[in-house]
Amino acid sequence: MKILCIGRNYVAHAEELKNEVPTEPVIFSKPDSSILRNNSAFFLPSFSKEVHHEIELVVRISRLGKKIAPQFAHRYYEEIGLGIDFTARDLQSKLKQKGLPWDLAKGFDGAAPLGEFISKKELPAMNDIAFRLDKNGSTVQKGNSGLMIFSIDTLISYLSNYFTLKTGDLIFTGTPAGVGPVQTDDHLLGYIGEKKVLDIIVK
C-alpha cells in the first residue's frame, strides 16, 4: 500500500505558510507505518516541540491503474475518507531550509490517522464535499473539495503518470487553512458534512 500526499492544494493554506501557490501538484509520501487506525490515540513524538494538525480528504484507490485519463479517474475510487497529516513543523522548517526531503517531519509513526470511509454514492458531487476538524469543541479547520487547486480526478490522473496505482493505495488530497499545534490531551474530531468519521486523543 502506498500513501501519496498532496501539499499546498488550497490557496489559503499555501498563503498561511508563506509558500508559493503551485502550478502543478506538490507530491510527497508517507510509509504505511505512519497509518493510525481505529481512532487510536496519537502520541506526540519526542523529537518535535511543534506538531501541527492538517485535516485532509483521503481517497482510497479501488482498482489497478496507470496513465489514467482525467475523464476516467472517477472509476478508480468508490470511497472518500478523512485523515490527519500530522507534521512536525519545527523539523520540517529545518529540512526545508537545507533543501532536504520532508520524510522525517511527515512520515513518522502515527503521523497519518485515518478515519472511517464513506461511499461516494452517499456524498454530494465530488467538487462539493465539506469537511472540518474540531479541536476541544471548537472548529479549527474547514474545507471543501470545491476549493482544491487540483481536483480529486486531476490528482489521480497526475499521480498515475508516475506511479502505478493499486487497490488500497491512499491519496491524502491536501489541507485547507487553519493548521495549528496540538498538545497533550487535545481532542480532535473530524467530520465529512455532519458525519463524524475521526476521533483522536493526543497523548
**pLDDT tens across 28-68, in order?**
999 999 999 999 999 999 999 999 999 999 999 999 999 99
> Which triple of cell numbers denotes residue 134?
474540531
> 113-164: per-residue pLDDT in tens?
999 999 999 998 899 999 999 999 999 999 999 999 999 999 999 999 999 9
Cα separation of 190 and 154, whole Å? 24
The pLDDT, as a whole number, for residue 14 is 59
Residues 6+ apart with CB under 8 A from 144: 128, 129, 130, 131, 176
> 91-101: per-residue pLDDT in tens?
999 999 999 99
Closest among 58, 68, 62 to 168, alpha carbons compared: 62
Entry pTM: 0.95
Cα separation of 76 and 118, whole Å? 15
> Which triple of cell numbers denotes residue 194?
455532519
Confidence class for position 15, pLDDT limits 50, 70, 90? low
Cα separation of 179 and 201, whole Å? 17
